[in-house]
Amino acid sequence: MRHFSLISATLLLTLAAAAPASADTLQLPQTGPTTPVPAGMEVPVRGMHMEQVELMYGKPPSISPPVGDPPITTWGYPGYSVYFEYSYVIQSVVNR
C-alpha cells in the first residue's frame, strides 16, 4: 500500500509539473517619453526622507495630500515634482 502511495504521489507531481503555465498580461496606456533630469539640475533621490528633502531643497510651494494604499504624496517645486511613498522619495520628475 505504501509503495502505491509513493507511485501515486510521484505521478501526481509529474503531471502537475507538466501542466502549462498561464499568466495575465497587464496593458499600460501609452504616456509618451519621460523627460530626463537635465544635467546640473539637482533633485531629491530615491530613498531620501521628507525631512531630508525639506532641509536640502526647502519647503515645497505645493503639497498634494496622500492618495492610495500605500499612500503617495506629491511635493511640487519649481520645475520638478517629488513623489513619496509614506515618507520616502520614490521618484523625482521634471515638470513639462
SS percent in the chain: helix, strand, coil, step 5: 25, 25, 45
What does the pLDDT look like over 46-58, one tens digit per residue? 999 999 999 999 9
User: Is pLDDT at 28 greater than 60 in this prediction?
Assistant: no
Helix (H, G, I), strand (E, B) or coil at 10: helix
Name the more confident of 18 and 78. 78
What dihedral angle (degrees, nearest 10) is formed by the CA atoms of 53, 58, 64, 68? 10
The residues facing 96 across adjacent strands are none
